[in-house]
Amino acid sequence: MAATEDRTPRGADGGTLATRLNYLFTHMHPPGAPYTNAHVAAEISQGAEEYGGVRLTEQYLSMLRNGRRANPSPDVLRALAKFFAVPVGYLLGDLSPSQAERVEEEVRFLVAMRDQRVRAIALRSVGLPPEVQDSLGTIIAQFRAQMNLPADPRDGGPPAPGDVPGEGAR
């Protein structure tokens, strides 16, 4: 994930419902094909049994995403949470900051796994001894530092001296 991509704002409330929904729309979609309001509304409405009989319109979903509506029924929230495969508490803003971060970490992981090269690197490391996996992590961190990327893709800034394993501050 690029360091410049939007992240859900942190804080006690975890952001607004619109912010959380837009985060999911931005990140939780098939490769190269972001979901539209029309698509999500149709999938939920047509899968009535799977989504608890909820009928959702493109216009209402748009209002939820732009903040003009902020208090959908519990059934709508459950359907949206099921569609995006997140806990309903994430949409409600009921999760603790650490729980919300775990949900977003899973989203970032799924986004990263869309890239076939990232998947190939991850799968090739399966079964290698832990010390070899640590060495691979060090090599990747060094490449990230050389390219002025943050040591951790979740961070927005360049790596600080000493952030690269095996290197001290200079």
Q: How many CB atoms lie within 10 A of CB 56?
A: 22
Task: Please tell me the pTM assigned to this model.
Answer: 0.65
**Phi, psi (deg, nearest 5) at residue 121:** -65, -45
CA distances 159 to 9, 36, 139, 151, Å, are: 22, 35, 14, 5
**pLDDT digits over 66-103, tens only?**
999 989 999 999 999 999 989 999 998 888 888 988 98
pLDDT at 152: 76
pLDDT of residue 59: 97
DSSP symbol at 147: T
Amino acid identity for residue 144 in this structure = R
User: Cα separations (Å) of 61 from 14, 43, 98, 101?
Assistant: 20, 12, 27, 24
What is the chain's percent helix, strand, coil content, to nearest 5? Answer: 50, 0, 50
Structure confidence at residue 154 (pLDDT): 65
Please tell me which residue, 163 or 94, carries the higher pLDDT value: 94
CB 126 within 8 A of CB 132: no
Q: Is the pLDDT of residue 160 over 70?
A: no
Q: Do residues 125 and 118 lie in contact, with contact meaning Cβ atoms separated by under 8 Å?
A: no
Distance CA 13, CA 93 (A): 6
Average predicted confidence (pLDDT) for the chain: 81
Q: Residue 5 pLDDT more than 80?
A: no
- CA triple 90-91-96, angle to 5 deg: 30
> Which residues does 144 contact at the CB level (< 8 Å), separation at least 6?
150, 151, 159, 164
Mean pLDDT, residues 150-169: 49
| Per-residue pLDDT tens digits for 36-63 | 999 999 999 998 789 999 999 999 999 9
With a cut of 80, say whether residue 17 has pLDDT above it.
Answer: yes
